[in-house]
Structure 1
């Protein structure tokens, strides 16, 4: 969806559902109000991810520590894994606008495309991004909605601190929106920079740390919404900045930075 594809950020899941029942006892649930509601009725069969105590269906964000300062993260909806990641531990940084669900729900991710998912139609992710922006669950995002829905979003955005740019895109209105608050007000950049410097080799971490430091007095709205060529500018920003601006977990961003640096 727009958070990923329009900005060149497509997250790849690890297909690992066959291990779910044997490793579930190692997972720790991290509650998150972004977790999609479980289906009602019996029209959707639950997936294989179950708790070891009683076999309850897993639902939410789960993490477990791994050797060598790594962490494994899975998002599960009604027993079906939607994303599954390994990355370096980054323990200092936390923020309510950053969540493992943000890339999943913004892009419509699922580990197995054949499995059931919470996404009901082609505009589901666009509507989710629009709502997440209004409720402060993401600092920045791009979505496309029918004109009537977009107009309602414009009216609701008043007083939220969001700044947006909108244009017609066929029968839809495409919106790029971000908060006017500065990065230093939104995030503990010192903690995040320290995590990157510890998690990655210096030659990879230092450019990302410098880019984050340079954004202290900038804001997603002024830098990536209102400036000329804002979306192109955003797509060219360092990965640590793009991930943070979209509200993506830094350990997943760090894993991508390391992966892109490996020889092909």
Structure 2
């Protein structure tokens, strides 16, 4: 089996300093160093295995089809992990420090162009600071009060064809999945070329309902999730 290969990514949470947390069990097999980051290894010509590890503790671990043509700085294995507060072992130490950690991470990731679209809920004072910082970023948002907090749905106004190499992504879906599964997803991606996350899933009527009903390939891409993980979900749902 191929060795784990680190995928450098500035989303990787820093290791704890002076916290007294013992490192987790995941180590590099060639030197025993503590693993920290997103790693992948090729299982076959068709399949890869991906794990995200924080200070030796796995946060996500999955298998998916290889999709070698597509890449994007807005797509990362860390995006679903840090946005959802994922852990493989719920009782293990993790970088998530409080109940608002993931919301704050999503808010910052949007500001820095690490995700094209996302939703978060913050105390009103923090949300107002976010609104002020979002000027000039190309982000569009909708906001509403949720008790004493503000819920924000935000996304970029750039079109999908500007954000992503859709031809490469469509080719990867057609390569990775059977035609009956790949072709509808490829058609949905093709139809989004001239749309943008902001105009299609924030400013349109019933935008959040529309987003929830979009094909998985579109939802995953819009959230900045890895297409190979999305393709694995598509295949699993077809078999269930």
Does the alignment reach a TM-score above 0.5? yes
1:182 is matched with which residue: 140, 156, 159? 159
Cα distance in 2 between the residues matched to 1:226 and 1:105:
26
Number of the residue aligned with 1:241:
218
1:211 aligns with 2:192: no
1:259 is matched with which residue: 198, 217, 236? 236
Tell me, what secondary structure is at the counterpart of 2:34?
coil
In the TM superposition, residue 54 of structure 1 has moved relative to its aligned partner by 2.6
Q: For each residue in 1:1-24, what CA deviation from the matched residue of structure 2 results, as whole angstroms up to 9, or x when unmatched?
A: xxxxxxxxxxxxxxxxxxxxxx8x
Number of the residue aligned with 1:76:
53
In the TM superposition, residue 68 of structure 1 has moved relative to its aligned partner by 4.8
In the TM superposition, residue 52 of structure 1 has moved relative to its aligned partner by 1.9
1:103 is matched with which residue: 62, 72, 80? 80
In the TM superposition, residue 41 of structure 1 has moved relative to its aligned partner by 1.4
Number of the residue aligned with 2:178:
201
Stretches of structure 1 that go unaligned for 5 or more consecutive residues are: 1-22
Q: For each residue in 1:82-130, what CA deviation from the matched residue of structure 2 results, as whole angstroms up to 9, or x when unmatched?
A: 0001000000000000000000000000000010000000000000000
Cα distance in 1 between the residues matched to 2:30 and 2:187:
46
2:6 is matched with which residue: 15, 24, 29? 29
1:152 is matched with which residue: 129, 133, 143? 129
1:223 is matched with which residue: 183, 188, 200? 200
Number of the residue aligned with 1:55:
32
TM-score in terms of structure 2 length = 0.98
1:163 aligns with 2:140: yes
Q: For each residue in 1:154-186, what CA deviation from the matched residue of structure 2 results, as whole angstroms up to 9, or x when unmatched?
A: 000000000000000111100000000000000
TM-score in terms of structure 1 length = 0.90
Cα distance in 1 between the residues matched to 2:20 and 2:102:
22
Q: For each residue in 1:168-211, what CA deviation from the matched residue of structure 2 results, as whole angstroms up to 9, or x when unmatched?
A: 01111000000000000000000000000010000000000000
**8 Å contact kept, 2:58–2:88:** yes
Tell me, what secondary structure is at the counterpart of 1:226?
coil
Poorly superposed stretches of 4+, deviation over 4 Å: none
Cα distance in 2 between the residues matched to 1:36 and 1:209:
33
In the TM superposition, residue 51 of structure 1 has moved relative to its aligned partner by 1.0
RMSD: 1.0
Tell me, what secondary structure is at the counterpart of 1:243?
helix
Stretches of structure 2 that go unaligned for 5 or more consecutive residues are: none
